Amino acid sequence: MPIISLQLPDEIAHSLASLANATGRNESCLVIAALSEYLTREVWIAEQIRQALNEADTEDFASDDEIRKIAEKWNAHTPEQATPLSIKPT
């Protein structure tokens, strides 16, 4: 397993030490878990952005009818005191 050395700001180092103490886990395990979750989320976000950009490049947009149907679906489940979604024709 590769070893990475980094400098942590004091606040993060103290929080990490406190959490390690409270949970009985070592700091390395906590950092690995946090980094793994962060990377999983960021990779997913990057992929979603890549897909959205590809769709935009091919002009694969929702039609007015598709958007109107989504708005109607959401408005059907909107509390009466809320302002319903408004779709203006293009």
Q: What's residue 80's pLDDT?
A: 65
Divide the 90 residues of the chain into consecutive groups of 10 and give the mean pLDDT of each group: 93 97 96 97 97 91 90 78 64
What lies within 8 Å, CB to CB, of 60 at 6+ separation is 54
Q: What's residue 65's pLDDT?
A: 92
First-to-last C-alpha distance (Å) of the chain: 56
